[in-house]
Amino acid sequence: MVGGCLPTDPAASRGAFDAPGTRVFSGPVGPCDDRNFGEVVSTQDVDTFRGSHPDRSALDPADCQRAAADYLGWAEPPDASGPASGWNSAALQNLVLFGPDATQYFGGQRWLACVLLPHTAPYPGSVRGTRPSPAVDSLGTCRATANDTGDPAVPCGEPHVSEVFGVGTVGPSEVPELVQACRELISREAGLTDPTAGGSLSIWVEAGGSFGDPVQRGRSGKSSGRCTVSATGGRQLTASLLGVRDGALPWAS
C-alpha cells in the first residue's frame, strides 16, 4: 500500500476508526496514475501507531510527519529539536489518516495508513523522493508576488515569484533565529546547498504584516508567520523549488 495513490477525493469517506475529534478516512488505493488525490506514505498496525503517541488512545495525523518526510527523501524529518525548529513544513500541512472501512474491520483488518494530500488536486505521477515534477508542484504553496501576506496562492506550475516553505508563530525577538531556521528548512526540502542559490533567491520571515531579514521592529507579541523564499532580480519561477537540488532553477523564459 505504501506508494499507492488515492484515485478519488477522500473527504466524504469515513473509516471504521473514525470518531469525534479523530478523522480517519477510508477508500480505494491504487497505482499513481495521471489523476491522484493523495499518496500513502506509511502503514502500520493501529495499536503500534497509538503506541507512538503520548496519549495511547490518540490517533493524530501530526504523528505522520516523520514518515512523510522520509517518503519525500528529506535528510532530516521535521523534529521539534531539529535545526529547523520553530517551523512546520508547509508541504506537510495536509496529512490525514486512512484505515479499514466497516467491512474490512469486521473482517479482521487493523491497519492505519498515513496519507499525504496535495494543496492542488488531482495531480499526475508520484511525489515520492521529491523529484521536480507536476506531482511535486502540487505540494508547493506558491504566490504571484513577493512579501505580500495577503497575496493568494497560485499553482506552482504557473509563473510566480515566491513560495512558502514553513508556517509557525513569530515574535519580534525571535526573527533572527527563525531566519536561520528558515534557511535550513529551505535547504533541506529544496535540496539546495546554498538556499539563496548564489543570490538568485531571497529568504524572508513574514511576521503578520512585517518581514524580517533584516529584523523589523515595532510589533509586540507573537503573530502567525511564514518562512518564504522569493526570486530576485524581477524574475519568475515556473515550478516549486521542493527537491530542485543544486541544478538549474526553473526560471520563466
Tens of pLDDT, residue by residue over 124-135, are 999 999 999 999
Q: Inform me whether the pLDDT recorded for 209 exceeds 60.
A: no
pLDDT in tens, 4-53: 999 999 988 899 999 888 899 999 999 999 999 999 999 999 999 987 66
Distance CA 118, CA 138 (A): 5
0.75 surpassed by pTM: yes
To which H or E segment does residue 51 belong? helix 46-51
Is there a contact between 33 and 7 (Cβ–Cβ < 8 Å)? yes
pLDDT > 90 fraction of the chain, expressed in percent and rounded: 72
In this predicted structure, what is the pLDDT of residue 208?
65
Residue 122: cis peptide before it, omega within 30 degrees of 0? yes
Distance CA 162, CA 104 (A): 44
Hey, where are the domains in the chain?
Answer: 10-116, 140-231
Q: Inform me whether the pLDDT recorded for 173 exceeds 90.
A: no
Q: Tell me which residue of 143, 170, 166, 165 sits closest to 155, measured CA to CA.
A: 143
Contacts of 238 (CB under 8 A, 6+ apart): 157, 158, 159, 160, 250, 251, 252
pLDDT in tens, 77-113: 545 445 456 899 999 999 999 999 999 999 999 999 9
Task: Name the percent of the chain in helix, strand, coil, to the closest 5.
Answer: 20, 25, 55
To which H or E segment does residue 185 belong? helix 175-190
Query: Is 158 or 207 the better-scoring residue by pLDDT?
Result: 158
